[in-house]
């Protein structure tokens, strides 16, 4: 079976949904704006440099989910999608997704960003399959902890292989579109690795490996 895999942030979106969520929380006074933005900037810099402590970052991201009731955070998320995500959805990304859909390919988004943020974004792109960092829930409330393996760097390979097994999916030809050097481990695993508006490290790797480099901007 043919499978088209897409990274989300800075690939299908013109921006990083994790980072945009942090901005949104601060701009609306849902968190201490100065403190949260400082941490948000620090973690994003680490991500770009490939030195991110993913577990520490996810704990940071999960804190507002754990400290507020579900009704409140769901209302925040609805506004976040309208204010931050809709404007960041790239028309060329939508066209690319539809090209694969029209060819009968299964579609999958795999992202290091947590599923609370990304599940509705996957729905906006009309993609049913999502691999994302999973915030732990207990009695219908987020605990602030991570459940399972984070889908980041080598963890994306682990989670992808788990997904194939759990869904009894025999992938014959695979595509993976990503902007980030953090995704090189998974790019190495697919039939067709494609660099999308890549960072400098991924661009150099793509040129060395003769991987296609495209832009959705």
pLDDT tens digits, residue range 57-94?
Answer: 889 899 999 999 999 999 999 999 999 999 999 999 99
To the query of whether residue 7 is one of the catalytic residues in this protein, the response is: yes
Residue 64: the pLDDT is 94
Give the model's confidence band at 9: pLDDT under 50 very low, under 70 low, under 90 confident, else very high: very high
**At 174, is the pLDDT very low, low, confident or very high (cuts 50, 70, 90)?**
very high
pLDDT for position 47 = 81
d(CA 110, CA 84): 20
User: What is the DSSP code string of 99-140?
Assistant: HHHHTT-EEEEEEEEEHHHHHHHHHHTT--EEEEEEEEEETT
- Residue that the structure tokens 């997704």 belong to: 97
Annotated catalytic residue within 9, 16, 18, 183 = 9
Residue 183 annotated in active site: no
Determine the pLDDT at residue 40. 81
Domains and CATH numbers, the chain: 2-214 (3.40.50.1000)
Give the strand order in the sheet containing 129-138. 141-147, 129-138, 106-114, 2-6, 173-178, 192-196, 213-214
The active-site residue, picked from 7, 16, 183, 199, is: 7
Mind listing the pLDDT tens digit for each residue in 185-212? 999 999 999 999 999 999 999 999 999 9
């Amino acid at each position: 079976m043919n499978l088209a895999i897409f990274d989300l942030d800075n690939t299908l979106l013109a921006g990083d949904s994790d980072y945009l969520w942090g901005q949104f929380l601060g701009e609306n006074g849902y968190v201490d704006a100065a403190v949260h933005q400082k941490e948000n900037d620090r973690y994003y810099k680490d991500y770009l440099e490939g030195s991110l402590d993913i577990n520490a970052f996810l704990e940071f991201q999960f804190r507002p989910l754990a400290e507020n009731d579900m009704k409140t955070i769901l209302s925040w998320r609805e506004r976040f999608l309208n204010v931050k995500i809709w404007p960041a959805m790239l028309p060329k990304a939508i066209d690319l997704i539809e090209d694969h859909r029209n060819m009968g390919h299964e579609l999958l988004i795999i992202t290091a960003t947590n599923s609370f943020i990304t599940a509705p974004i996957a729905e906006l792109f009309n993609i049913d399959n999502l691999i994302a960092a999973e915030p732990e829930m207990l009695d219908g409330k987020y605990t602030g902890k991570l459940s399972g393996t984070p889908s980041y760097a080598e963890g994306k390979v682990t989670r992808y292989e788990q997904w194939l097994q759990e869904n009894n999916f025999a992938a014959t030809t695979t595509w993976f579109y990503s902007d980030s050097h953090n995704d090189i481990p998974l790019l190495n695993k697919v039939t067709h690795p494609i660099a999308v508006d890549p960072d400098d490290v991924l661009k150099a790797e793509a040129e060395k490996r003769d991987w296609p480099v495209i832009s959705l901007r």
